[in-house]
């Protein structure tokens, strides 16, 4: 789809209406009028049918294949455009022409990105719909191996198809077995049955795809709930949708990725450092803004909300007081980049003593490499309770030392 593709497509459709084949329109109306009630009945009586959908598409294909074979003319409507010749057999495998690689590399990269993005997005869509999980790396490996193998048969790059995936899902396909059966059926068509189905009207196949794509538009019903849940996610959804709609799949998906990255930065900058207090029992820490009956320690405790990176480090660390002694809860800090390291070094220089608590092994390695953990006013503790205990003990020892020194001075 080119830039402005959907709008251009609709303009071309409207301009071409006067040239439309009346027979194809009649076939489309008949097929849609039959398929829509069948889909409704399959959903409504799903339990009674024990999950087995009514094969409306298959019935229509068989009926039209037989009728078009014996009566290709529809009276005054004339001949209806058909699928046409379906090549019989499989192509002979050949080695790809490596001399073309340098000329194709510029087109290959965006094609691979679009193919993988389409695969992953459709996979996640149907995984969420049917309550299962997918592995992004496994998907990338699968589509890579499939395209490498198909290259020896002069095929075009393959990727997930929204229309075909929707059709299979609407027909009851849920597991890899459905994909295997589809491959077997296609193989049978290529080797044996292809010529018998060359008379199928194109309008029938278009109607099957259109009816099964109706389920995709159900996503629009989730937009009000998405708006209430997250304004940022709503903006990403609408922005991505409009980008693909206006600029086509290639450029639109690229803009959608940029919008998603921008949303990550927005979320990173919208962070707040929370002060923690203890419950009356003294062993559980909670945010003071959410609970009123918490005991606030004489040594303030602050929880850092996520990684310290270029997007959030300055806003997070600047919110900390620049004096006294404190504890920092690092339980949610999974990464520190160079900006976070520099900002953290600048902040702790102005603090008398700071204890890092609940530090993960990965973050601890970063603190060791940067040298922050070796600073004289920095302590590392496994838990907040340990940090509080050590801080109290440290101050008690300091107080005792000061009193002893004052006593010695008075004797002199």
- Is the pLDDT assigned to residue 160 strictly greater than 60? yes
| Ramachandran angles phi, psi of 308, nearest 5° | -100, 95
The mean per-residue pLDDT over the stretch 379-399 comes to: 82
- Is the pLDDT assigned to residue 403 strictly greater than 50? no
- Is the pLDDT assigned to residue 190 strictly greater than 60? yes
Q: Which helix (H) or strand (E) holds 378?
A: strand 378-381
The pLDDT assigned to 5 comes to: 62
User: Helix/strand/coil (H, E, C) string of 249-286?
Assistant: HHHHHHHHHHHHHHHHHHHHHCCCCEEEEECCCCCCEE
Nearest-angstrom CA–CA distance, 288 and 279: 10
| Ramachandran angles phi, psi of 321, nearest 5° | -65, 150
CA dist 97 → 106, 147, 156, 266, 275 (Å): 16, 15, 14, 46, 64
Nearest-angstrom CA–CA distance, 2 and 68: 36
pLDDT tens-digit map of 298-345: 788 899 888 888 888 888 877 788 778 888 999 888 888 898 899 888
Output 411 or 371, whichever has higher pLDDT.
371
Q: Please, which pLDDT band fits residue 146 given cuts at 50, 70 and 90?
A: confident
CA dist 337 → 268, 312, 325, 381 (Å): 14, 11, 25, 22
Find out whether 193 and 87 touch, Cβ atoms under 8 Å: no
The mean per-residue pLDDT over the stretch 83-109 comes to: 79
The mean per-residue pLDDT over the stretch 362-383 comes to: 90
The pLDDT assigned to 75 comes to: 67
* pLDDT, the chain, mean: 81
Percentage, residues of the chain above pLDDT 70: 90
Residue 281 C-beta-side C-alpha neighbours within 13 Å: 4
The pLDDT assigned to 215 comes to: 66
The pLDDT assigned to 257 comes to: 83
Note the helical H segments in 71-222.
101-130, 136-151, 162-170, 176-188, 202-212
Output 367 or 220, whichever has higher pLDDT.
367
Find out whether 126 and 165 touch, Cβ atoms under 8 Å: yes
**Domain residue spans in the chain?**
1-84+191-220, 230-268, 274-411
Nearest-angstrom CA–CA distance, 94 and 73: 42
CA angle at residue 409 from 406 to 412, to 5 degrees? 155
The mean per-residue pLDDT over the stretch 91-110 comes to: 80
- Is the pLDDT assigned to residue 364 strictly greater than 80? yes
pTM of the entire predicted model = 0.60
Q: Tell me the two tokens of residue 187.
A: 């193989």
CATH number of 274-411: 3.30.750.24
Q: How many other CB atoms sit within 10 Å of the CB of residue 235?
A: 16
The pLDDT assigned to 51 comes to: 62
- Is the pLDDT assigned to residue 169 strictly greater than 60? yes
The pLDDT assigned to 94 comes to: 85
The pLDDT assigned to 406 comes to: 53
The pLDDT assigned to 217 comes to: 72
The pLDDT assigned to 365 comes to: 92
> Per residue in 236-259, is it b (16+ CB within 10 Å) or e — as a string?
bbebbeebbeebbbbbbbbbbeeb
Q: Which helix (H) or strand (E) holds 379?
A: strand 378-381
CA dist 182 → 104, 165, 189, 227 (Å): 31, 11, 11, 39
What lies within 8 Å, CB to CB, of 339 at 6+ separation is 309, 310, 313, 314
Residue identified by tokens 């020892």 is 397
Output 180 or 4, whichever has higher pLDDT.
180
Residue 232 C-beta-side C-alpha neighbours within 13 Å: 12
């Amino acid at each position: 789809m080119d830039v402005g593709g959907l709008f251009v497509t609709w303009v071309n459709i409207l301009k071409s209406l006067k040239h439309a084949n009346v027979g194809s329109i009649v076939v489309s109306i008949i097929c849609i009028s039959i398929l829509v009630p069948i889909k409704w009945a399959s959903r409504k009586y799903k339990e009674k049918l024990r999950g087995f959908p009514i094969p409306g598409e298959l019935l229509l294909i068989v009926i039209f294949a037989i009728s078009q074979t014996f009566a290709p003319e529809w009276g005054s409507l004339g001949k209806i455009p058909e699928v046409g010749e379906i090549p019989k057999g499989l192509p002979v495998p050949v080695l790809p022409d490596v001399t073309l690689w340098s000329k194709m590399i510029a087109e290959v990269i965006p094609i691979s990105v679009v193919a993988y993005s389409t695969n992953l997005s459709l996979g996640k869509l149907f995984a969420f719909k049917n309550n299962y999980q997918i592995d992004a790396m496994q998907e990338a490996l699968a589509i890579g191996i499939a395209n490498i193998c198909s290259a020896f048969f002069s095929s075009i790059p393959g990727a997930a198809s929204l229309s075909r995936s929707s059709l299979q899902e609407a027909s009851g396909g849920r597991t890899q077995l459905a994909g295997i059966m589809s491959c077997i059926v296609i193989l049978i068509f290529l080797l044996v049955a292809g010529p018998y189905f060359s008379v199928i009207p194109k309008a029938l196949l278009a109607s099957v795809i259109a009816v099964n794509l109706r389920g995709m538009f159900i996503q629009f019903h989730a937009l009000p709930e998405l708006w209430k849940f997250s304004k940022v996610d709503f903006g990403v959804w609408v922005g991505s949708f409009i980008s693909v709609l206006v600029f086509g799949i290639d450029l639109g998906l690229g803009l959608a990725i940029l919008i998603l990255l921008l949303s990550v930065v927005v979320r990173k900058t919208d962070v707040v450092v929370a002060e923690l207090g203890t419950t009356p029992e003294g062993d559980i820490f909670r945010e003071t803004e959410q609970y009123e009956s918490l005991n606030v320690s004489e040594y303030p405790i602050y929880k850092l909300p996520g990684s310290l990176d270029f997007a959030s480090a300055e806003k997070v660390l600047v919110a900390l007081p620049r004096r006294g002694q404190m504890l920092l809860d690092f339980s949610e800090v999974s990464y520190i980049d160079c900006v976070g390291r520099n900002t953290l070094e600048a902040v702790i220089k102005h603090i008398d003593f700071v204890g890092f608590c609940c530090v993960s092994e990965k973050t601890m390695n970063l603190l060791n490499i940067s040298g922050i953990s070796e600073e004289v006013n920095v302590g590392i503790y496994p838990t907040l309770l340990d940090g509080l205990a050590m801080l109290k003990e440290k101050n008690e020892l300091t107080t005792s030392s000061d009193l002893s020194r004052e006593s010695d001075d008075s004797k002199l």
